[in-house]
Structure formats: C-alpha cells, structure tokens
Amino acid sequence: MKEMTKRIELFHTGKLAPEQARQVARIIRSARKDSVPLKHRAALIQHLTEKLQDASFFDGLKQLPGANKSHVREYAYRLPSGRKRKLIVKYCGPNLQQAELHGFDETSYQLVHRAFGELLANGTIDPTHYVLARIPTFGTIITHDKRYYLLMEKLRHARIPPSEYDEPPFQAYLADMLAVGQHATKLGFKFKPVAVKTQAFDALILGSIRGQNSKLRVLAPPHDFC
C-alpha cells in the first residue's frame, strides 16, 4: 500500500481575484465534506489493504451512477466516532501498464496540472469560463495477486451535460486541455496529448462562481487517460 502524504494545491488561482479564490476554496471545502479526515487515513488504507485481498469485496461495493460500473465504486468507512465518511475505490487494472492508463500513477495527473499551471502563467491559455481543480487522492493498493487500486476522495459534484458539449465555453475548455496535453508531453507525460482532451469530457463540476463576464465553473478532471 502507499499513502499520499504530500500536500498539493487543489485548484489553479490563475488570474482570479482574491475574493474569487476564496469563493473557489469554499466550494472545494464543501465538495470535500464526505472526505475521511487526514488522521484516520493510514488506518483506512490498512483496513482496505486487508479487505481488497478478496476480489469479491470490491465487487460488493456500491456502484456509482454514470460511472464505469466495473471500475469505480464507493465505500463508506466508519470512523472511531461511529460516523461514516465516503471515498472512491477505483480498480485500475491487473498489471501496472494498464493501471497507469487508469490513473494509478499519480505522477501523470500531477504533470497535467503542472502543464496547465505553466501555460496559465505564460498566457498561452486564458480560461474565462472555468477554474481547474484536482481530485485529491490519498493512497494506492496493490493486492497479492496484482490488482491495482486507487483511493480517491469522494467529491460532491455534478456532470457536464452532453447538451453543452458543442457550446463555446466547453469547446474553449477542450482546446485548452489539448494544449495542456501537448505541453505535458514535453514534461514527461507518457500518453498522447489527445488523452488529456478526452479525459476532459468526464470532468466533475464542483460548483461555480461569478466571473468578470460569465459564470466560472470549478472543474476537476478525472484520474485516467484512456
């Protein structure tokens, strides 16, 4: 098992005004209300490491609406206080090569966000309809028979409606993400640049704030590239 302990920024401030950044931070805090507190995560990972040795345990977890039913499940973890907190358990594959395609390697996700931050800083992209956020992870598990799992925070969210895919705000977002993919390959990203654009369709909407001329959605792309 591996626990993610490094603190990361959960969204790109970019050209946000201070009050806008505070609003986005509040949205992300609200989206993370179901998250397992940091002090309980080591015990949680140990618990799931034991449970997931039996493949039938994962099969019995709650399926999520709209998600790949065979790969993404929800687990409710009972804290010592008796309260339950939720998390996402993602089956990434039976070998490392396949698992990396489905988000097991956190490095790829970090490279995408690093590429976004660099293009934002040098003015190559200038988002006017969205703020890019991260889906926090806090561990990975490899079972004895080589099944690879990623543990992610369960965020309260909505999905981008397919009816909006052809609208200018979403098309601009897709163009930005393709540029991010192209830049990420220069930083060591293993996959084709179009993989980041494809991933963008499945972004979670965590909320929205008022921008200068339009609504700014807080979008968090998922942890996979195929």
> What is the chain's percent helix, strand, coil content, to nearest 5?
40, 25, 40
Total structural domains within the chain: 1
**Which residue, 209, 205, 211, is CA-closest to 221?**
205
Q: Is 123 left (phi over 0), alpha (psi -120 to 50) or beta?
A: left
Q: What gap in Å lies between CA 142 and CA 96, rounded to an integer?
A: 10
User: What is the amino acid identity at position 137?
Assistant: T
Q: What is the band of 207 on the pLDDT scale with cuts at 50, 70, 90?
A: very high
Q: Are 130 and 216 contacting, i.e. CB atoms less than 8 angstroms apart?
A: yes
Q: Is residue 10 part of a domain?
A: yes
Domain coverage including residue 9? 2-220
- Taking only the tens place, the pLDDT of each residue in 107-166 is 899 999 999 999 999 999 999 899 999 999 988 999 999 999 999 999 999 989 999 999
Q: Is residue 139 part of a domain?
A: yes
- Taking only the tens place, the pLDDT of each residue in 70-95 is 689 999 999 999 999 999 999 999 99
Q: Is residue 225 part of a domain?
A: no
Q: What is the three-class DSSP state of 150?
A: strand
- Taking only the tens place, the pLDDT of each residue in 3-57 is 544 445 788 988 788 999 999 999 999 999 999 998 999 999 999 999 999 999 9
pTM of the model: 0.89
**To the nearest whole number, what is the mean pLDDT of the chain?**
90
Q: What gap in Å lies between CA 13 and CA 120, rounded to an integer?
A: 10
Q: Is residue 132 part of a domain?
A: yes
Q: Is residue 226 part of a domain?
A: no
